[in-house]
Amino acid sequence: MFYRRKILLGLMQLIGGEVEKLRLQKLLFLYSKKKKDSEYDFIPYKYGCYSYSASADLSALSRKEIINESDNSYFKEDNIDYLKLLKPQDKTYLEEVVESYGKMSKNSLIVHTYINFPFYATKSVIAKNVLNDTLYQRVIDATPNETETILFTIGYEGVSLEKYLSKLVSNNIHVLVDVRKNPLSMKFGFSKTLLKRYCESLNVQYIHVPNVGIESNKRKKLNNQIDYDDLFEDYKLTTLKS
């Protein structure tokens, strides 16, 4: 089992094995903020901080019948002590989160994360209703408002789906143009269908333009800078001129 899934199960174990889906996302987010490199990253979403990767892992655990789920909650089904399988510091972080926030209701956790991490409330559909005017202004202030038309480039090597999407949101990107010849990836969320879905969930239009991509067979033997220079020279002389 992936270590990150043991984190999810350890957190569920600490809060009694049953937890509302939104509460779990908020508690996991607060855990992630204690770590320099957390197992899960988050995006600003309809109800604040949200991890697509955690949601996908929970669905996988449900399919394996390690947990069960209803429309609104998750239920831990096995009796394994996952806390014993965690690194001591991670176990401590989880215990601290549950000690501080484990008794808070879903709505209280939503408000707490909105107040303390306003960027993650910038896509919320309920922020204006659950915050007073002063606190809601902090969300407005955290909302990217760049109006100048700018062309950015972005890659996804070394970053999670959530970090990638957060870069788009924080830079007020409205259109993502995917120039990969074959928009497939073993990395979660970066194949065309899922990436398009996740972008559009954040009001970012996804467009695929394969004609300007590089053929995969040309990228197989890139061992040094000379190889890359030759590749890009060929790209300029062929693809960009066609």
Residues of the chain with CATH 3.90.25: 161-237
User: Helix-strand-coil percent breakdown of the chain, rounded to 5?
Assistant: 50, 10, 40
CATH topology for 161-237 is: UDP-galactose 4-epimerase; domain 1 (3.90.25)
Confidence of residue 240 (pLDDT cuts 50, 70, 90): confident
What is the Cα–Cα distance from 45 to 116, expressed in whole angstroms? 16
Residue 193: its H or E element: helix 192-201
Quick one: tokens of 212? 């300007």
Average pLDDT over every residue of 175-204: 94
> Which of these ranges, 53-67, 70-84, 213-227, has the smallest mean pLDDT?
213-227
The predicted-structure confidence for 22-56, as pLDDT tens digits, reads as follows: 999 999 999 999 998 999 999 999 999 999 999 99
Instruction: Work out whether strand 205-208 and strand 175-178 pair parallel, antiparallel, or are unpaired.
Output: parallel
Q: How far is CA 29 from CA 51, 60, 134, in A?
A: 8, 19, 24
